[in-house]
Amino acid sequence: MRLTKRGIGWLKFMMHIMCLAPIVFLVFVVLSDNAGGDPVQYIIHYTGMGALNTLVVTLLLSPVAKRFKMAALIQTRRLMGLYVFAYASLHIAAFVSLDLLFAWAYLLEEIVKRPYILVGATAYVIITALAITSLHIVKRKMGKRWQQLHNWVYVVALLAPIHFYWSVKSEVIEPSLYIIGLLTLLWLRRGNIKTGLAD
Domain boundaries, the chain: 5-195
pLDDT of 193 over the 70 cut: no
Q: Could you give the percent of the chain with pLDDT greater than 90? A: 70
pLDDT of 194 over the 80 cut: no
Report the helix count and the strand count for the chain, using DSSP H and E. 10, 0
Q: Which residues contact 161 (CB under 8 A, 6 or more apart)?
A: 52, 175, 178, 179, 182
Element (H, E) at 49: helix 39-67
| Separation CA 21–CA 53 (nearest Å) | 14
Give tens-digit pLDDT for 107-132: 888 888 899 999 999 999 999 999 99
| Separation CA 25–CA 50 (nearest Å) | 12
pLDDT of 178 over the 70 cut: yes
User: Quick one: angle between helices 173-188 and 39-67, nearest 10?
Assistant: 20
Residue 69: pLDDT band with limits 50, 70, 90? confident
Of 69 and 143, the one with more pLDDT: 143
Q: Is the pTM above the cut of 0.75?
A: yes
pLDDT of 5 over the 80 cut: no
Please measure the distance between the N-terminal and C-terminal CA atoms of the chain and give it in whole angstroms: 18
